[in-house]
Amino acid sequence: MRRFAWMLFTCAAFAQAPNLSVTSGVAATSRAAWTRISVRGEPQDAWLTLQCIKTVEGVKQADIFFEIGQTPAFWMPHEQQATEQTPPPTKLTFTFDAYKPMRREWVEVRNNQFLYNRPGVHSGNMEPVDFYLKFMGSTTTMTVFKDRDTSWSFPTRPLLKAMTEQELCKP
């Protein structure tokens, strides 16, 4: 809940297709600029989101996550307190068309909202988000599998097209 207090409520939503959502804003306390690009997947209640953040120091950071059963909401990363427990990572399998499946760690930050666990001390993942954006450029679909019977598919082209139009998300 504390993450939402950082959000400056003057975020701008751009005109967009019904299956694409682009929002931008500035975090109230850290003054970090952010842009979120979300694309609706299959089934219809799933969203894949690319979130680009630029701190006041000029450091850019990208996060990718997906959520089920709700509209995409802003998630502002924060420095973890010493007393705060890290949510346990969940291993999910995802694949891009014509590539073999990859099993990586995701963190369930809220109920049914999974954030890619960036490389670091608390992560078994070795690839940054930028690595997967290259895959998205050569395919049309990203599919995430929770188990054998549960999966979500997301179109990657609208996400990448919107990414090139947003200053914060340009490589």
Residue ranges making up the domain that contains 47: 2-77+85-169
Paired strand residues for 54:
33, 60
Q: How many independent structural domains does the chain possess?
A: 1
159 within 8 A of 39, measured Cβ to Cβ: yes
pTM of the complete model beyond 0.85: no
Per-residue pLDDT of the chain (171 residues; tens, 9 = 90+): 434 333 333 333 434 466 898 999 998 888 889 999 999 998 878 999 999 999 899 999 899 988 887 655 555 655 555 566 777 888 999 988 888 899 999 988 878 888 898 888 888 889 999 888 888 888 889 999 988 888 899 999 999 899 999 988 887
Q: Bin 148: left if φ > 0, else alpha if -120 < ψ < 50, else beta.
A: alpha
pLDDT at 124: 86
Amino acid in the structure at residue 135 = F
Q: Centre a 10 Å sphere on the Cβ of residue 26 and count the other Cβ atoms it contains.
A: 16
pLDDT at 7: 38
pLDDT at 105: 92
